[in-house]
Amino acid sequence: MIPLTVDDAEQAARALRASLSSAGLANPTHEQALETLPHTAGYRDWDTYSATLTTPRPLLAVPILRSYDESVARHFYCDYLGFEVQFEHRFAPDLPLYLRVARGDIEIDLSEHHGDGTPGSVVWIAVTGLTDLHRELRGRDAVGNLRPGIDRTAPGGPTMTITDPFQNVLRFCETTS
User: For 23-27, 78-82, 156-160, which range has the lowest pLDDT when averaged over its residues?
Assistant: 23-27
Q: How many domains does the chain have?
A: 2
The residue length of the chain stands at 177
pLDDT surpasses 90 at 42 = no
Query: For all residues of the chain together, what is the average pLDDT?
Result: 86
- C-alpha to C-alpha distance for 20 and 29, rounded to whole angstroms: 11
Examine the domain organization and report whether 100 and 34 are in the same domain.
no
Domain assignment present for 26: yes
Quick one: 80 and 156 in the same domain? yes
Q: How confident is the model at residue 16 (pLDDT cuts 50, 70, 90)?
A: confident
Provide the domain limits for residue 97: 64-173
Residue 65, burial from CB neighbour count under 10 angstroms (0-12, 13-18, 19+): buried
Residue 151 contacts residue 161 (beta carbons within 8 Å):
yes
104 DSSP 8-state letter: T
- Do residue 47 and residue 111 come from a single domain? no
Percent of the chain residues past pLDDT 70, beyond the cut: 92
Q: Is residue 57 domain-resident?
A: no
Residues 44 and 94 in one domain: no
Q: Which of 47-56, 107-116, 145-154 has the lowest mean pLDDT?
A: 47-56
**Same-domain check for residues 68 and 41:** no
State whether 143 and 103 are in the same domain: yes
> For residue 150, is pLDDT > 90?
yes
User: pLDDT tens across 58-70, in order?
Assistant: 667 899 999 999 9
Identify whether residues 94 and 40 lie together within a single domain. Answer: no
Higher pLDDT, 174 or 50: 174
Q: Is residue 59 part of a domain?
A: no
Tell whether 158 and 94 lie within a shared domain: yes
In a domain, 76, yes or no: yes
The alpha carbons of the chain give a radius of gyration, in whole angstroms, of 23
Concatenating the DSSP letter of every residue in 14-82 gives HHHHHHHHHTTS----HHHHHHHHHHHTT-SSHHHHHHHSBPPPPP----EEE-S-HHHHHIIIIIIT-
